[in-house]
Amino acid sequence: MRKPANEREIIACRTAQFFQDGNIVNLGIGMPTQCLDFLPDGVDVWVDTENGAIGLAGAPGENDEFPVDVVDAGGRPSLLRTGGCCFDSFTSFGYIRGGHVDITVLGAYEVDAEGSLANWMIPGKAAAGMGGAMDLVCGSKIVIVMSTHCDKKGNPKIVQKTEMPLTGYKVVNYIVTELAVIHITDEGPVLEEIAPTTTVEEVVAKTGAKLIIPETVKTMSF
């Protein structure tokens, strides 16, 4: 496995460390799919796509046969690995809602201390729709938000109580950023790990939620 080379890759690489061999994972469009570049040694996962397949294997390369009628959750052509399967939309969402997806990884506008997630609608702006996100966060065994710690203006994306329209209420288990790993527990958000380049003080200063700081906070290792 290669080492992460920038902040986005740090987020993807640390998130991938949650994956266990044989997991069914659903990866949101964009940054979450980068996790596959950083699978830990000996870990093989099966990629679920909510439009109806398990076993997606990424975009076709130059030498691959063009995959007719296999698309990912963004509608882009994708390869299907040996052992992969396809099914209809209500079977797909039946197992998503029914708790058969091990891990869902997706982005956030805001996530709060209770694990409530806002990632589909900004008040006052036109929304593109939630797609399958509301079902995924409500049914998956583990929900991981991967995101930059702050937005482009430097405002914390991890807040005490989000006022934005929700995607899911109390659904997030872990938040992974370029600075920290935060575990949402019944007691509140626990700062479990920080990046090698930061300090607990910096993470606290850049977080809008009141973090629980354990006696030892581990450092991310890659």
Partner 1 sequence: MAKSKVVSVAEAMKHCYDGMTIMLPGFVNCGVSPTLIDGLIEAGIKDLNVISNNTSVKGKGIGKLVHENRIKHITCSHIGSNTETCEKAVAGEIDITFVPQGSLAEKVRAGGAGIGGILTPTGVHTPMQEGKQLLEWDEEQGKYIFVEPDDPQKGARYILERPLHADVCFVHAYKADKMGNVVYHRTARNFNQVFATAADFVIVEAEHIVEVGELDPDEIMTPGALVDLVVQAEKEE
Residue ranges binding partner 1 (CB under 8 A) = 49-53, 67-71, 74-75, 80, 86-90, 92-93, 96-97, 116, 121, 126-135, 138-139, 165-169
Q: Tell me how far, at minimum, the Cβ of 112 lies from partner 1, in Å.
A: 12
Q: Tell me how far, at minimum, the Cβ of 29 lies from partner 1, in Å.
A: 9
What is the per-residue burial (b if ≥16 Cβ within 10 Å, else e) of 11-34? bbbbbbbbbeeebbbbbbeebbbb
The catalytic position among 9, 50, 114, 178 is 50
Query: Which residues on neighbouring strands pair with residue 86, listed in sequence order?
Result: 53
Query: Which residues on neighbouring strands pair with residue 56, listed in sequence order?
Result: 80
Nearer to partner 1, 118 or 203 (CB): 118
Q: Tell me how far, at minimum, the Cβ of 67 lies from partner 1, in Å.
A: 8
Q: Tell me how far, at minimum, the Cβ of 134 lies from partner 1, in Å.
A: 4
Please confirm, yes or no, whether 202 is among the known catalytic residues.
no
Q: Which helix (H) or strand (E) holds 205?
A: helix 200-205
Say which residues have a Cβ less than 8 Å from residue 137's Cβ, sequence separation at least 6.
Answer: 104, 106, 117, 143, 167, 168, 171, 172
d(CA 35, CA 81): 17
Active site residues: 50
